[in-house]
Structure 1
Amino acid sequence: MTGSDKYRLSCWFIRGSQAFRAGHHTEFNMSDVLKKSLKSRLTKLQCHFTWNLLDEEPDIAKVKDRLYDQIAFLDATFKYRIYNILAYTSYLNEDYEEATAYLHKAEEQLQEIETQDTYAKSVIIYANYAWIFYHRNHIIKAYMYLKKVREIREQYEFPPKENALLFEMYSEKGFCLLTFHGRHSERAKECFKKALDLDPENPELNSSYAIAVFKLEGYNCLKKPLDESFPLLKQAAQINPKDTVVKVFLGLKYQDLNNSKEGLRFIEDALHGTPEFPYLLSYVAKFYRREKMTDEAILVLNEATRLNPTSSHLHHQLAQCYKKKMTALKNSARKAKLQAQCTRAYTEDIADAVASAIFHLEKATEYKPTFVTAHIALACMYGRAKQYQKADERFHQILTMGNLTQEEKQDLHLNWAQYEQYKTNCQSESIKHYKEVLLIKCPTIFREFALQQSKSLAEEILTKNQFNDTGIDFLDFIHEQDFILPKSAMNDVPYEHNSENEE
């Protein structure tokens, strides 16, 4: 801030004081006036504070874990963007000093990289500074950074320099949206597309755009898998062969398209490139798990949890692996029994798999008490272990958790219904919970599967006794519901639902 700027602010404060001493009856606080004026200007900036990142409640701890992994294991070129997001997460935790420190790191890292557009890249850092100092009530410093933003924007006001500023804004906004919350992928995709229009051959943007599209396909759980991301991921892997995240997603996409052999080649290439990156290892494990390479998935996830032992997501994935192992062992035991073979070893191994799944689910819910999917899986696994009191207590505990989404309520009641139907043989309770799923009109795989199971249960009751009042009433209830739902891409939805898009 120049001497004239400071002088102007001082004059405003002096005039305010004079007005107050002159006996004005209206309360006059020039500091509040300046802050209100500053807030109005800040809301017009392009930065993390104005990008509407809080339309869904964020998991700040999970976002920060992911960012720390990226700092530790990925290329240093774009760390300034990571520090920018960390500054914003610190603000959300009301730690303004830590937020300021992260912005200092963003500035330092930006000075270390070779680039022609340092000022264009700095503008979002300065905008974040202005917001942080506003929240710290350091009005003069906030105005100082606001002035820096204005001066940079004036330098880039006209083409072709204007494109450099737009490119940085679209790139960083897209990166932030994609990192901050997976369900912002549509907005991230739009940002990357606009940035690519300005620089079509940019390696980082090609990767980011492909990843955003890939994420969108994963979250779109009620439609058949889309193939839009496949050529984008292939192109990104060619343009940026060092991007192991793109390679692992390309491997998963090959698996979606029934070409697991080619997918495995990309998975192993990615694993060789960054063997100690927990975020990447979780997706490698996902590939192995879907390929029924359960032991390999467990091995990879054990390494990931060694690197990040408090990750609720990794513990949840390990539990999924042990559940799959349990299912495979049960199938083998049935075959052995049909062939009159001893099944004692299978019984012990199944018990060990169930115990391991429970251990990791308890860790997942300990490290993230709001992890609804893990709580539901834990309740179901207690049922598998015949620990019915713990299962009942867990289901009721989840029901009392605040801010459950419609999908989470459906997931809860579907699993609860299945638990009552198959584990406790309580038909009335099972019907009650199926009804709870169907009463929530949100079209999801949970509701669709509940519809299928409800029809089967009603038909089973009426097959035994066609005049059974319970069966007739339940079937009438089912037909009263509006079931015009899109067909899902669901292959098999077990009552312990697997969340494949936790990241």
Structure 2
Amino acid sequence: MSDILKNSLKSRLLKIQCHFTWNLLEEEVDIGIMEIKLYDQIQFLNPERKYRLYNLLAYTNHLRGDYEEAIAYLQKAEEQIQEIQSDTTDARRAIIYGNYAWMFYHMNHFIKGYTYVKKAQETCKNLESSQRQNILLFEIYSEQGFSLLAFNGRHSERAKDCFQRALGLDPENPELNSSYAIAVFRLEGYNCLKKPLDESFLLLKRAAELNPQDTVIKVLLGLKYQDFNNSKEGLLLIEEALRATPEFPYLLRYVAKFYRRAGMTDEAIIVLNEAVRLNPTSSHLNHQLALCYKKKILALKDSARKAKLQFQSTRTYTQEIIEAVSCATVHLEKAVEYKKTFVIAYIALASMYGRANQYEKAEEIYHKVLHMDNVTQEQKQELHLNWANHELYRRNWEPEAIRHCKAVIKIKCPTVFRGYAIKQCKILAEEMISKNPSDNTGNDLLDFIHQHDEKNIAETDNYYQALQLEPDNEE
């Protein structure tokens, strides 16, 4: 009998619009990191948005199997919409009822599940039979878009589509305009070779006008001004947002990004240290801090070279480089501790171990990443290129460096890593031929390059641009 009840309930549940039917889990998500982001936003976002965050926290607790906590968050969502009565209150309740029904289904409380299915269906039916049908559609599109955007960055295209549909029903809605602009902004970051980089600019400007208290929108607009070489205007927006919400980790990471791209590395480090203090277990923030220290290392090495050319002491620079390498290493170790699948942080950590002459640790990390299940083709290229540089510049072992460069080139993705590997192989081949024209090794290496689809090399300039714009983009 219970199987009949269960199957009958599930067939009804699949027809309900709520978080359980929106395919939020199309890709692997780190639930712990997701929940930290949601907790941060609860503290700083407009109270009217909190019920959506509670809905999502209920869903993430279901994923962890903590149904009591999940139910508690659904109750908080109900309380929140009760406090802020609006035309969309009933539509919001319908979504929450759907979540309750699914939760009780997973808890094997099928009678309670049926009760909430009936509540959801009756609420939707009442809305559809009145002049408020558009309100139900508006809330479904809005809630689904918000959930997709919050849950996984790779859902941005789907989120954008939801926001467009909702805006068709309420074009002047401030929250929707903000969410739509953020979705487009993220898409430009992920697909900046395929989409124009200025599409989000006007959307962010409009969102800032409609919702002047939204500090996240101000910071993203500041970054767009920076993209268009107007850092002065961007800095005004960044500092204005920072004054309004100085302890919002989600916002601080974008502030730091602006500072880092503006060459204000020390300022970026200060901001990120504050963000890490507020959210010490954030793998992303620790990774960003490491990127800042890496940039500082490169600047210090450049200063040391200039000082050496002028016969000045480089002792101070050397000590500062050692300290920066140590700081970067610590934060990268934390990044991979808090996110075990953080591939690019592992690669950066191996590189930093190499800088610190900890060669065994570096090679241990390279081998570990090589055998991880979640490594993309592009990340494999980055891995082998870093490994090649490690062999060439740290261990002075040219044959191994060439082997890893070849591994990069064999992967056909037209990335900046592939372009660098090809250039590196050409340089090494030409040096071999110059040193010993009778040795065929150099000519064989050139033949290898020509055999492996050199037509895509020109595309690497675009990928270099992408890397400059989004050097910390996990996606």
Per the normalisation by structure 1, the TM-score is 0.90
CA distance in 2, matches of 1:419, 1:127: 54
Does the alignment pair 1:500 with 2:464? no
CA distance in 2, matches of 1:82, 1:411: 36
Does the alignment pair 1:489 with 2:459? no
CA distance in 2, matches of 1:224, 1:386: 42
Asked if structure 1 preserves the Cα contact closer than 8 Å seen for 2:141 and 2:162, the reply is yes
Provide closer, same or farther for how the CA distance between residues 492 and 246 of structure 1 changes in structure 2, counting only shifts above 3 A: closer
Letter in 2 for 1:127: G
Letter in 1 for 2:338: Y
CA distance in 2, matches of 1:497, 1:250: 14
Does the alignment pair 1:364 with 2:342? no
CA distance in 2, matches of 1:259, 1:385: 38
Asked if structure 1 preserves the Cα contact closer than 8 Å seen for 2:354 and 2:390, the reply is yes
CA distance in 2, matches of 1:492, 1:205: 30
Matches of residues 199-238 of structure 1 in structure 2 within 5 Å?
A: 199-223=170-194, 226-238=197-209
CA distance in 2, matches of 1:497, 1:46: 37
Unaligned runs of 5+ in 2: none
CA distance in 2, matches of 1:448, 1:128: 49
Give the SS at the match of 1:489. Answer: helix
Asked if structure 2 preserves the Cα contact closer than 8 Å seen for 1:294 and 1:325, the reply is yes
Residue 4 of structure 1 is matched in structure 2 by none
Matches of residues 124-163 of structure 1 in structure 2 within 5 Å?
A: 124-158=95-129, 160-163=131-134
CA distance in 2, matches of 1:405, 1:91: 29
Q: Say how many residue pairs are matched.
A: 473
CA distance in 1, matches of 2:427, 2:127: 65
Residue 21 of structure 1 is matched in structure 2 by none
Does the alignment pair 1:55 with 2:55? no
Alpha-carbon shift at residue 259 of structure 1 (Å): 0.7
CA distance in 2, matches of 1:467, 1:149: 81
Does the alignment pair 1:251 with 2:219? no
Deviations for 1:298-356, whole angstroms, at most 9, x for unmatched residues? 11011111111111111111111111111111111111111111111111111111111
Residue 76 of structure 2 is matched in structure 1 by 105
Matches of residues 279-294 of structure 1 in structure 2 within 5 Å?
A: 279-294=250-265
Q: Which moved more, 1:454-463 or 1:249-258?
A: 454-463
Give the SS at the match of 1:313. Answer: helix
Residue 137 of structure 2 is matched in structure 1 by 166
Does the alignment pair 1:269 with 2:240? yes
Alpha-carbon shift at residue 403 of structure 1 (Å): 2.6
Letter in 2 for 1:453: Q
- Match for 1:84 among 42, 51, 55? 55
CA distance in 2, matches of 1:48, 1:452: 48
Does the alignment pair 1:384 with 2:355? yes
Q: Which has the larger radius of gyration?
A: 1
Letter in 2 for 1:501: N
Residue 394 of structure 2 is matched in structure 1 by 423
CA distance in 2, matches of 1:142, 1:443: 51
Deviations for 1:379-412, whole angstroms, at most 9, x for unmatched residues? 0011111111111111112222223222222221
Provide closer, same or farther for how the CA distance between residues 497 and 173 of structure 1 changes in structure 2, counting only shifts above 3 A: closer
Deviations for 1:163-183, whole angstroms, at most 9, x for unmatched residues? 101111110111111111111
Q: Give me the identity figure in percent.
A: 65
Asked if structure 2 preserves the Cα contact closer than 8 Å seen for 1:222 and 1:488, the reply is no
CA distance in 2, matches of 1:64, 1:456: 48
Residue 439 of structure 1 is matched in structure 2 by 410
Residue 270 of structure 2 is matched in structure 1 by 299
CA distance in 1, matches of 2:269, 2:364: 29
Does the alignment pair 1:45 with 2:16? yes
Residue 193 of structure 1 is matched in structure 2 by 164
Letter in 1 for 2:174: P
Letter in 1 for 2:178: S
CA distance in 1, matches of 2:390, 2:465: 17
Asked if structure 1 preserves the Cα contact closer than 8 Å seen for 2:87 and 2:135, the reply is no
CA distance in 2, matches of 1:150, 1:272: 46
CA distance in 2, matches of 1:218, 1:143: 43
Asked if structure 1 preserves the Cα contact closer than 8 Å seen for 2:6 and 2:105, the reply is yes
Does the alignment pair 1:72 with 2:30? no
Does the alignment pair 1:182 with 2:153? yes
Alpha-carbon shift at residue 82 of structure 1 (Å): 0.5
Letter in 2 for 1:193: Q
CA distance in 2, matches of 1:223, 1:326: 33
Residue 373 of structure 1 is matched in structure 2 by 344
Does the alignment pair 1:242 with 2:213? yes
Give the SS at the match of 1:156. Answer: helix
CA distance in 2, matches of 1:89, 1:364: 22
Provide closer, same or farther for how the CA distance between residues 461 and 50 of structure 1 changes in structure 2, counting only shifts above 3 A: farther
Alpha-carbon shift at residue 101 of structure 1 (Å): 1.5
Letter in 2 for 1:78: R
Give the SS at the match of 2:396. Answer: coil
Matches of residues 111-126 of structure 1 in structure 2 within 5 Å?
A: 111-126=82-97
Per the normalisation by structure 2, the TM-score is 0.95
Unaligned runs of 5+ in 1: 1-29
CA distance in 1, matches of 2:236, 2:180: 22
